[in-house]
Structure 1
Amino acid sequence: MTNNPQEPGRKGLLIVLSGPAGVGKGTVCSHLRRISPDLVYSVSATTRAPRQGEQEGINYFFKSREQFQAMIDNDELLEWAQYVGNFYGTPRSFVEDMIASGRDVILEIEVQGALQVKNKYPQGVFVFLMPPSLDELKMRITGRGTETEDVIEKRMNVAIEELRMMRHYHYVVTNDEVESACERIRSIIAAEHCKRERLEPYLNKWLEGVTG
């Protein structure tokens, strides 16, 4: 029998990383995966055609519209949305299989999708990524150089509404420096694995049959 309840039979976590557009979710998630290679990136299902070099089960699970609709009907998705004529969603089975095997899964997603996930998987760890300031967020959006002033204003209005949704999350991390933000997220993951309610089932197994 092991002396460490955190090892055998330990379930993984679903870490949901979310925040307003332009906050740097993709950059933070990519760096986090480089420094935490055991972290599993949640693979989405989509109805769009594969692009050159994309692989089934690595980049996406490619589905027909009929297959995707069946996944919706059978409640097989933690969240889904339609974008530019195609459907995208997070398969429940992939996430649950990884977690059951003890792997931690990270899902990088927009705010509305994160709220869908929380409704279906409330035991997840929900992390809201904040910009250092609204001025910095606007600089990141305008720095792309692809949007008009009207579009930038609309994106900022949406971002402000999304910032108000942080009350639905467990943790808030400011993305001032990518490396620092990633270290905070890694600390959150480590702390979550040490929570009493996660370890208690294993401790109770130790105590089965113990008298006195």
Structure 2
Amino acid sequence: MRNRVTRALHERVLPFIRAVAAACFSVAAAPLAAHPHVWITYASVARMDGSALSAVQERWTFSQGFPVSIVGDLTGMPNSGPLSPKYTRIFRQQAFDSLKGTGYFTHVFVDGKAAHFGEVRDFAVSIEGGRIVYTFVLPLADKVDLKRAQVQLGIWDETFFVDFQALSKSGAPIVFDATAEKTCTAQAFEDKVHAIFGGAIFPLSTRLSC
């Protein structure tokens, strides 16, 4: 039974890690000939300290087709639930750490300038409904007070190789955690300043303010 489940999972997810690897190492491909090869539904939480943004908590759910086979021997991987530290470590080394150069596709702009991030933490992998799910926290190198700066947050791939879709179908794709001041608001908008796909697509971004 386990072999059948593992085989089925590999068949569904095999095309994906190859696509992620290609996205990481072939981002220079001609943008006008490109199209999404990887589809991710995301949900994000702005971690706050009052009115100060300190980190972004992210949850990525990959479409069926995530390729696990190139990350190593995963014959003992469960068909559902959280992965063990062993398999989480394999995923991180083979299919996550390489995304550091892209900023994990996370974009925070403070008064129009790109913010820097610290080291990612709390990375975890699970399988839910046959889909691979990543969760992690991406801290800002320096906290930013939303009362003193114009801040926007968005998640997108500049090459349009990976297609990110917000889980929320209404309202802003980013929500605040419980520590945020009650006056904080999140407003979704099309970011026409940071167009992607050769300038043809305006990514979804969110203005954060308090």
Q: TM-score if structure 1 supplies the norm length? A: 0.29
Bigger proportion of residues as helix: 1
Q: Structure 1 or 2: larger strand share?
A: 2
Higher-Rg structure is 1
